[in-house]
Amino acid sequence: MTDQPQTGHSGGWQNALKAPFDWIDSGLDWFERSALILCVAGMATVTVANVIARNLLGFSLQFANDVAQMLLVMITFLGIGIGARHARHIRVSALHDLLPHLGQKILLVVVSFTTAWLMFSLADFAWNYAGAVQRTCRVLPDALDLGLFTLPVGGMPLVAGILVTLVGIALAGHLIRLISEGGARLLARFEGYQRQLMVLAGLVVLALLAWGVFAVFIGLVEARSGQCRVTSSTGFPVYLNYMVVPLGFLFGGIQFFLAGVRNLLSPDNYLSWYQKDEYEEEGVDPGMTGGVDPDEDAAEERDRG
């Protein structure tokens, strides 16, 4: 589901430094892609179901607009990290292409860390805005009892909360990777209708797990305390949807930060943690080169004669 980072010919200490960044980037990649797949599928399902209900049954789904708007926000901002990871963002490379290799590396380092700082600043602004919309509303409890210790959720410092969230999302991404790889190996043992039955059983299990997580989340939302600004039809706290915005900027800032670190650790130039700064070799259309076709030239000479 994700491309493996290119290690190059670095020294042992450089590979040791790259290992935790590889782990974080791989986990975030799996989580972001899985989240985007679910969001796109959910938005398509809700939209199509609303159209069918309105045209065939004579009524619209009351929650369709709210759900579609929330999913659109999630798709937009969660896609920042994926776009930066695969270097699919718009960049002006006129000055970059004129510089030598060392100059390009210095420029990439400066641009990467500057863009990361901008993304983190936007994440901080979005976090403060979501906090202002939150008012006194609280969904999560002040502390979570994990058995061996109690995790303070409400009183946790912001930096600690970011680190816990980042590690938790990376762990979730690696769990998704292990489930996907294990499922692929399991399906390889079956053929024909047996494979189809295994796929159906896997989808049922995943649907039940997703429903369980969703039920727990809805229970927390319904048991919220304080004053909340909610959506009109679903009663969903608006600030929870706005929390996706700083998360998306955080993912984008992490990718640009990783790009700067990769350029410091590797002799080659990188646009992201594993995407090298290189041009793809593409075939050239002979009709677009401006050259002269010999057969066409000979035909013109005969016509003139």
Considering its fold, how many domains does the chain have in total? 1
Q: What is the pLDDT of residue 131?
A: 80
More reliable by pLDDT, 49 or 160:
49
Give a yes or no: residue 178 inside a domain.
no
Mean pLDDT computed over 28-36? 89
Find how far residue 223's CA is from the centre of its chain.
Answer: 30
Q: Residues 15-40, buried b or exposed e (16+ Cβ, 10 A)?
A: eeebeebbebbbbbbbbbbbbbeebe
- Residue at 4 is within a domain: no
Residue type, 268: D
Average pLDDT over residues 151-172: 76
Indicate whether 182 belongs to any domain: no
User: Which letter does DSSP use for residue 237 in this model?
Assistant: B
Highest mean pLDDT among 20-24, 77-81, 115-119, 166-170 belongs to 115-119
pLDDT grade for 16, boundaries at 50, 70 and 90: confident
Residue 198: its pLDDT value, please? 84
Give dist(CA 108, CA 266) in Å, integer: 12
How many angstroms separate the CA atoms of 126 and 241, rounded? 11
Written as six digits, the tokens of 267 are: 């002799």
What local confidence, expressed as pLDDT, does residue 8 receive? 46
What is the pLDDT at residue 291? Answer: 46
Stretch 188-208: mean pLDDT, rounded? Answer: 83
Q: Domain for residue 74, yes or no? A: yes
The pLDDT mean for the chain works out to 78
Phi, psi (deg, nearest 5) at residue 208: -65, -40
45 in any annotated domain? yes
Cα separation, 166 vs 194, in Å, equals: 39
State residue 279's pLDDT score.
Answer: 60
Question: What are residue 139's phi and psi, to 5 degrees?
Answer: -100, -50
**How much is the average pLDDT of 170-178?**
89
Q: Over 80: is that where the pLDDT of 228 sits?
A: no
pLDDT digits (tens, 9 = 90+) for 53-92: 888 888 888 888 888 888 898 899 988 888 888 888 777 7
pLDDT digits (tens, 9 = 90+) for 255-295: 999 889 888 888 888 888 888 876 654 444 444 444 445 55
Tell me which H or E stretch contains 150: strand 150-152
Is 80 exceeded by the pLDDT of residue 138?
no
Q: Does the model's pTM come out above 0.95? A: no
Residue 171 lies in a domain: no
- Which one-letter amino acid corresponds to residue 44? A
Provide mean pLDDT across the span 100-124. Answer: 91
* CB-count exposure of residue 219 (10 Å: 0-12, 13-18, 19+): exposed
- Residue 42, in any domain of the structure: yes
Domain span holding position 111: 12-137+237-277
> Does position 148 have pLDDT exceeding 90, yes or no?
no
Best mean pLDDT range from 81-90, 119-128, 140-149, 157-166 = 119-128
> Is 123 inside any structural domain?
yes
